[in-house]
A and B are shown apart, each in its own frame.
Chain A
């Protein structure tokens, strides 16, 4: 059974601070997705990374895929209250076509 762990579990910061959250797998995966879930809603895709070492930027969010394809990080610069939510990573393991394994999530709160 593959394990997908996210850290930290909770993060409370003030507006303007930077933060990084992590996603680590016990096995190599073929692709990774990051989702954000706001209260009362389903998760919404932020980005998909497929190449080891890949870095993608989405405005103030920077996503990195580890060279060994077993980890990923999400860095937020100058956090805003609108970034508040649950951040979930999800991986597709080789041989499990269409199925995603989700991490436990990082709950982020950004206050004024």
Chain B
């Protein structure tokens, strides 16, 4: 079974802190994605990566950066957390086109 794991299920941070969200997949997938999910807005793509050290901006990259140093690991970084970044963050991976496999999500609260 494909497994995508995220480092934390719940996280509470203060405004201005630097926040790291980690995602690891065990199926040797080339593509990895970071989304945020907010009520009424669905899933919105923040960044994605199609290879090690390669990244592309999604629809809402402002305030975020990413890092992919190894194929199995994709990190989302909030350089200076703000309250409007309070959200559910979902990581996904796939190979080529087709089904994306999601992690369980990290619910981030910024106070």
Q: Which residues of A contact B (CB under 8 A)?
A: 4, 6, 9, 31, 33, 40-45, 48, 88, 90, 92, 97-105
Contact = CB atoms under 8 A, between A and B. Distances in A.
25 contacts: A6-B42, A40-B104, A40-B105, A41-B105, A42-B90, A42-B92, A42-B103, A42-B105, A44-B102, A45-B100, A88-B42, A90-B43, A90-B100, A92-B97, A98-B31, A98-B48, A98-B94, A98-B97, A100-B45, A101-B45, A102-B42, A102-B43, A103-B42, A104-B40, A104-B41
A33 B43 contact: no
Contacts of B103: 42
A99 B46 CA distance: 11
Given A42-B92, A42-B103, A98-B31, A31 B97 contact: yes
A36 to B, nearest CB: 11
Contact of B104 (A33, A41, A98, A104): A41
Interface string B10-50: 00000000000000000000010001000011111100101
7 closest residue pairs by CB, A with B: A42-B102, A102-B43, A104-B42, A45-B99, A102-B42, A98-B31, A43-B102
B48 A88 contact: no
Chain B interface size range: 20 to 34
Interface centre among B42, B45, B48 (most CB of A within 10 A): B42
B107 to A, nearest CB: 9
B63 to A, nearest CB: 20
Given A48-B99, A88-B43, A92-B97, A42 B104 contact: yes
